[in-house]
Structure 1
């Protein structure tokens, strides 16, 4: 269990944060307010917490652990708030850190300016923490409404590559457009008024990125020396 320290501009004046364009995982949890940004770069899917079995939403950043990251015309893709705030936690409403987290390195970006004010990097962490603090319960409620209407279903993702390799992505779920379009006018209107309908369509539209990611992976495999 990590030992947390409340963030302090005096005690942590020399602390530096490693800002890296690479992601630390191939699948990162996101909240509802991130859907419209995340869908520009990543497939958004649902999966279950291994401990609790509860559904949560996430952005698929790569096809499998250790796989090269998806690239969108050289533009840095959207970074989920859960990755921005790595190493930082909320403790009774205050920002705390795990000083042993690998994101803190001697050659990183300072967390504080010389006058003790938060740096741009720390302000980004503060925004990410705020997004998660308010967004997690909101997203849980949205997913509960999707489940109550039986809109979430398993998605079958089986990819074949030119070198003969195959890849299956198991344990993932998506909104069923058939179920969505079969909703009663009352339920559809309720989803629309809550803003859930927009999120449902954003999630289903984002799945198109899997085809692009598979093509990129196939191109890398084809270009690799025999």
Structure 2
């Protein structure tokens, strides 16, 4: 990891990120609305810390992405975490992983103009990092509110596909609407005023995308047969 420098990295170019092998990607609450239109949103736990984070599901097994080949999906939703891949915030600066496959000195778009100013692609990444920085804090507050009201519940999803394979989705959580309806008026009002109530219902509505993804998978199986 090293700080991005207009002199040191003057010749560095960046290629578009690929999410072809992504089946699950972390997202922020400011992405929920767009994500819910094409894929289900869940909570899961960081295996190292045990902390919850929000993520979007694109496929049912490792390296399976049922959306990447759909051009209309890319126009509707692309995770911020994907767009900023290989770039990080370090204090008030931007750091990069110079060994990341996105970087090249021969292919892709330049990070800097000839006068040393950020190129359009770098300015876009700067905006993405800013959105992520804000979104991360908002997401942490949202999840903390869910946990405080005991609204997080595990999901048990088992899917059987046309080729006979059964896939069990494990380690995923959602919001309990039953528990939500048991909260008192003051608790619900607090969730509403914080903007969390809308996020809860967006997560719940996104679960319908599980069956749509399953249909996409079956269609892929049929095409490959």
Separation in structure 1 between the aligned mates of residue 109 and residue 211 of structure 2, nearest angstrom: 36
1:36 paired with 2:28, answer: no
Q: Could you tell me the TM-score, scaled by structure 2's length?
A: 0.91
Unaligned runs of at least 5 residues, structure 2: none
Note the C-alpha offset of 1:82: 1.4
Give the match's secondary structure for 1:179: helix
1:106-155 per-residue CA deviation (whole Å, 9 max, x = no partner) reads: 31121122332222221221122112222223211211110111111011
1:66 paired with 2:56, answer: no
Tell whether the 8 Å contact from 1:153 to 1:176 is kept in structure 2 after alignment.
yes
Note the C-alpha offset of 1:23: 4.5
Note the C-alpha offset of 1:197: 0.2
| Partner residue, 1:131 | 131
Separation in structure 2 between the aligned mates of residue 206 and residue 119 of structure 1, nearest angstrom: 36
Tell whether the 8 Å contact from 1:23 to 1:83 is kept in structure 2 after alignment.
no
| Partner residue, 1:175 | 175
Tell whether the 8 Å contact from 2:83 to 2:128 is kept in structure 1 after alignment.
yes
Question: Which consecutive segments of 4 or more residues in structure 1 shift more than 4 A?
Answer: none
| Partner residue, 2:82 | 83
- Pairing partner for 1:10 from 2, 7, 11: 7
1:49 paired with 2:42, answer: no
Q: Could you tell me the TM-score, scaled by structure 1's length?
A: 0.91
* Residues 23 and 115 (structure 1), Cα distance of their counterparts in 2 relative to 1, 3 Å cut: farther
Q: Which moved more, 1:83-92 or 1:188-197?
A: 83-92
Q: CA RMSD in A?
A: 1.8
Separation in structure 2 between the aligned mates of residue 41 and residue 34 of structure 1, nearest angstrom: 12
| Partner residue, 1:140 | 140
| Partner residue, 2:218 | 218
Note the C-alpha offset of 1:36: 1.6
